[in-house]
Structure 1
C-alpha cells in the first residue's frame, strides 16, 4: 500500500510571531494542532477540486480526438471526407490516345464520355509586341569630371554627418542627408536643409524634432531654438565627424563634455554658435578621388575596386587605368571595358563601362552595375555624378530623358499613349518628362481600359508589351508621343504579333457531327470538363484538318489509392478513440492514491510528485455514465444487420469481445470492392440517415451528440468539460461550476482558519504576559526572603 504523511508542521501554516519566551511552550505547533480539523477540511476540498480538474482534462482529451476526427473525415470541405462520398466518385479523368500529351483535363465523370478531340489547330495567345533591338546603348556612363586632377573643387563638409540631440530624457540622431532638396553650400540653404532633416525624426505624440526646435542663421552664424510647448529641455550632446566645429558650435579641438551648459543647452532664447560656419572647403580632384572605393556588380557578382593615390599631376587617364585593372582582376580580362568620353571642349570626360566578350565584341547579354561606394563619389552631389544602382541597362527610377532610352527625346506635353481607338493621357499634374520610367509604366498598366501591360526585361534590354484582352480579341496598335519615346517606331523598333484564339475540333459521342470550338484561352470548360490544350495536332501545314488522326478520348476512374488511404486512416483513428474511451470507463481507481496537499508535495521530489499524480489520475472516470453510453454507441456504429455487407467491402467488427467493437480493415478486399463497384462503398459509408444509414453518417450523429462544438447546446461532453475548440464553452461548463463552488468553500474555510489562528495567538499572548508577570513576582519574593 502506498503511504505518505498527512498534514504536518511544515512551516506553511501562515503563523508568525514569537511564542514560549516566558512559558516555554511551542506556540506555533500547538496552534497547528488546535486548527488541524479546519486545515484538514481545506486540504480535502483542494483535493476534490484537483480531481475535478483532472476529470475535465481527461474528458477534453476525448473530445479533442473526436473533434480532429470530425474535421478530417466528417467535414464536407475536407479533402479526406468520407461523408461526402467524393473519394468514391469517378473524378480521376485521364486523356487517352497518342495525342493525349497535348491535353490535360479534369471534371465530372458524367462528361468524360460525351466527346472526343480530333485536333487542335491553334493555341490561344494574347497579342504581344517586343523590342526588336536594345532600348538603350548598353553603356554605363558617369557624369562629367575634369581631366586635370589638380583642379580645385568646392565640396560640402557636413552632408552625410549627424547631429545628436537630447530632448527630454531621450536622445535622437539627426542625419543630414545629401542630394535632392538638401543643399549645404551656403548658410541660408544649410539652415533650410537642417530644418527639413529635423522633420524626419519623430519624438512621439505625433511630433517631430521640427516641432520642438528651429534652425536659423544670421551673417553665417547658426542659432538653434527650443520652440517646444511642452517645456522639455533640449541639448546638443554630440555629432559625427567635425560637424559641430563646421557649424561653429565648437572651436577646433574642443569637446562638448568640457563645456558649460550655456554652450550646450538649446533654450527658447536660442543657442548661437560661437563661430561662423565653414560649410565647404576647397580640395583638389586628386585628393577627392584618392583611396576611394566603388562596388561593381557584374552578372550578379559584386566586387569592390579601390582607386589609387593621385597627386596634382594626375589625369583621368590614371583613374581609368586603375579602374580597368580592378575590373580585369575582379571579373576577368575582356569582360568589362572602361573608357573615357570627352566633352566637346576637351576639358572634361565621363567614365563609360561596357560589357564585352574576350574577343573585344560587345556583349549584349551581360549587365554591369555600380552597386555602391564612398558617399562622396555617388549620388546627386557625388563627384562621379551617378547614383548607386546605375547600370548599362534602362534606369527605371530615372526620368524618361535621363533613363538611357534610345527614343526618350522630343517629348511633347501632355504625355499620351494610345491603343487603337483608346487613348490614355497621363495626368499633367502628376507626370511630365521628368517622371520616372517605372512610375509611368505602373500608371499605364493600372489603366484597365487601355488593355495593355508593359514590362521591361533587363537581361534582354527590351520592353515586352502584352494585350490584356484574351486571344484574338486583343491587339497591339500603339501610338502617341509616349509610345514613341518608350518603344520607337512600330515595325522598326518593335514587332507586333497578333493575338490568336484556341481552335479545337470536337466530335460528340453517338454522332458523326464535328464541331469547331473557338476559345480565347487555352484553358476552358467544355460540357462539364475543364480542358487545357498545350500543343497542336490533327492539322496539316496549311491549316486543313487531317482525315486520318487518332482522336483523344477520356476515361473516368476512381482514385482507389486515395480512397484506401483515407479509409485506413479513418479506421485507425476510430479505433484510437474507441480504446481511449473504453480505457477511461474501465480503469478502476486506486484508493491509495489521492491528490496531494501542499504539505505533502513539500516532502517529495518532482519525480515522486509526477509518479504519484499519474496514479491518482487513474480511474477518475471509471463507470462514467456518459462515457459508457458513448462506448455502447461506438460499439454498434455498424448495426448487426449491416455487418455482412460491410465485410464485403473490407470493413468488419472484431469478434473478440475484449476489443469492444474495434473495426478491422482488409485492404485487399477493399481494393477488389473498389474495382467492382465504388458506389457500393460510397453508399455504405455516406448514405443519409435512416435504417440504412452509412457508417460515417452514424458516426457524425454520435460525434455531434457527444462532441459538437457549435450551436446553442454543445455536445454532452463539451457541455460538461468545455473545449479549447469552442471558446465560449470554456467559460460555462459543469466542471467549471464545480471548481467555482470549491473555490468559494475553500475561501470561507481559509477565512475561518485565519480567525482561529488569530484567536489562539491572542490567547497565547495573554498567557505569555501572565506567566511573565508571575515570573517577575516570584523573582521579587525570592530576593526578599533571601535578604
Structure 2
C-alpha cells in the first residue's frame, strides 16, 4: 500500500486481486473485516503460523496490517464444513454446493436428524433448450454453406497485380478483393456432398434395438425440415411434440442423438454428423493440405507445383525464342550492312566508268 493510497482504494485493490480473501470496512463501527472467499473449516496445522502457534484460518503479518489496521487484536470467527450422511455414509464438504454421482446438491439450511428423501428427475426444460440450441447452430451452418454454394461469381474481378494495388486505396483494394473472392465455392462438390450427407444423417432411422420404432427418426419427436426447399434442408421444431417426447421417454431421445453403434444405422445422429464432419475435413486436407504438409502431399499443392514447372518451362522457351530472334535480327543487320556495302561499291564502279 502506498502512503497516499486511501482505505477505499486499498480495499478495492485487495478485493480485485484474487488472493482468496476479501476486505470490508464499516465506517459506523470503524472496524475492518477480512474474510476467506472459500467456505469451510480451514483451521489446521497446515495453516498454523510457526511464529504464533494456534490454529488460524487467516494469518496476518506486518506492522501496517497488525498495528495500523489493528488485526493483532482481531477476533476470528472460523468457518465450518458441511456435515451430512448420504446413503448411510457420513461425510463432509467445505462447500454447501457439491456433486456426488453426477447429482449436484445445494445445502440451504441445517435440518434435524430425520431422513431426507431426494427425488431425482430429468431436467426436461434444459434438455429441450439444448436440442433447440443445437438445431439453431445447425441451421446457421446450413445457411452459411448454402450462401457459399449460391454466391455470385464476378469473373471480371481478377486478382490484383502489384501495379494495380499501387494505384488503388486500401478501401478500393478491399472492395475489389471481396468481389474477386466471391463465388470461389459456388457449386463446390465437397460442400454439396457434405450437405447431402448431413441430410442423410438426419433422415436415416436410428435402429439400435433400444429405441421404440415410433421414435427412431427426428420427425417422430417433432424435428423436421422446413417446407421451403430453397433453404437447403434447415430444421424446424414442433415444440409441444418435442417436449412431450422428452417427458415421456428421455432415454430414447438421448439415444436418438447420441448412441455408439457398430453400423451407420445404429449410430446416433450426433455420431453420424461427427463422422461426416471428419470425412469432409479429411477431403479438404487431401485437397488443400494443412500447415504440416509439403506441397507435394496434397492435390492443390501438386497442382501448384505443376503450374510452377509449366511457368518455368515457358520462361525458358521465352528466353530461347528471344535469343533466336536476336540472332536472326543480328544476322539480318549484318546482311543489310553487307548489301549496303556492295551497293555502294557498285555505285562507285558505275560512277567511275561514266
Normalised by the size of structure 1, how large is the TM-score? Answer: 0.30
What's the counterpart of residue 652 of structure 1? 224
Name which of 260, 270, 278 aligns with 1:696. 270
Contact 2:256 2:268 (8 Å CA) reproduced:
yes
What's the counterpart of residue 134 of structure 2? 567
Contact 2:149 2:185 (8 Å CA) reproduced:
no
What's the counterpart of residue 721 of structure 1? 288
CA distance in 1, matches of 2:306, 2:177: 27
Name which of 41, 60, 65 aligns with 1:455. 60
What's the counterpart of residue 4 of structure 2? 297
RMSD value, Cα: 5.4
What's the counterpart of residue 706 of structure 1? 280
What's the counterpart of residue 634 of structure 1? 198
Query: How do 1:99-248 residues align onto structure 2 when only pairs under 5 Å count?
Result: none
CA distance in 2, matches of 1:536, 1:667: 37
Question: Could you tell me how far 1:750 is from its partner in structure 2?
Answer: 0.7
The one-character-per-residue Cα deviations of 1:404-458 (angstroms, maximum 9, x if unpaired) are: xxxxxxxxxxxxxxx99x9x9xxxxxxxxxxxxxxxx9xx69xxxx998733387
What's the counterpart of residue 684 of structure 1? 256
Question: Could you tell me how far 1:682 is from its partner in structure 2?
Answer: 1.5
- Partner secondary structure for residue 60 of structure 2: strand
Query: How do 1:21-420 residues align onto structure 2 when only pairs under 5 Å count?
Result: 297=4, 299=6
CA separation of 1:775 and 1:461: change in aligned 2, threshold 3 A: farther
Contact 2:150 2:183 (8 Å CA) reproduced:
no
What's the counterpart of residue 764 of structure 1? 329
The one-character-per-residue Cα deviations of 1:246-287 (angstroms, maximum 9, x if unpaired) are: xxxxxxxxxxxxxxxxxxxxxxxxxxxxxxxxxxxxxxxxxx
- Partner secondary structure for residue 698 of structure 1: helix
Question: Could you tell me how far 1:781 is from its partner in structure 2?
Answer: 7.2
Contact 1:501 1:521 (8 Å CA) reproduced:
yes
Contact 1:686 1:693 (8 Å CA) reproduced:
yes
Question: Could you tell me how far 1:728 is from its partner in structure 2?
Answer: 3.3
CA distance in 2, matches of 1:775, 1:570: 85
The one-character-per-residue Cα deviations of 1:179-198 (angstroms, maximum 9, x if unpaired) are: xxxxxxxxxxxxxxxxxxxx
Aligned length: 297
Question: Could you tell me how far 1:299 is from its partner in structure 2?
Answer: 2.2
Question: Could you tell me how far 1:757 is from its partner in structure 2?
Answer: 0.4
Contact 1:503 1:519 (8 Å CA) reproduced:
yes
- Partner secondary structure for residue 537 of structure 1: coil
What's the counterpart of residue 319 of structure 2? 754
CA distance in 2, matches of 1:597, 1:499: 72
Is 1:673 the equivalent of 2:219?
A: no
Question: Could you tell me how far 1:597 is from its partner in structure 2?
Answer: 11
CA distance in 2, matches of 1:537, 1:619: 66
CA separation of 1:737 and 1:566: change in aligned 2, threshold 3 A: same
Question: Could you tell me how far 1:693 is from its partner in structure 2?
Answer: 2.7
Contact 2:128 2:246 (8 Å CA) reproduced:
no
Higher strand share: 1
Larger Rg, first or second structure (1 or 2): 1
Name which of 537, 554, 563 aligns with 2:110. 537
Give the unaligned 5+ runs of structure 2: 10-29, 33-43, 207-214
CA separation of 1:670 and 1:731: change in aligned 2, threshold 3 A: farther
Name which of 73, 92, 107 aligns with 1:519. 92
CA distance in 2, matches of 1:740, 1:756: 24
| Structure number with higher relative contact order (C-alpha < 8 Å, ≥ 6 residues apart) | 1
Higher helix share: 2
The one-character-per-residue Cα deviations of 1:656-686 (angstroms, maximum 9, x if unpaired) are: 5555544333345434433444333212211
Question: Could you tell me how far 1:566 is from its partner in structure 2?
Answer: 2.5
What's the counterpart of residue 81 of structure 2? 502
Name which of 303, 319, 322 aligns with 1:738. 303
CA separation of 1:555 and 1:456: change in aligned 2, threshold 3 A: farther
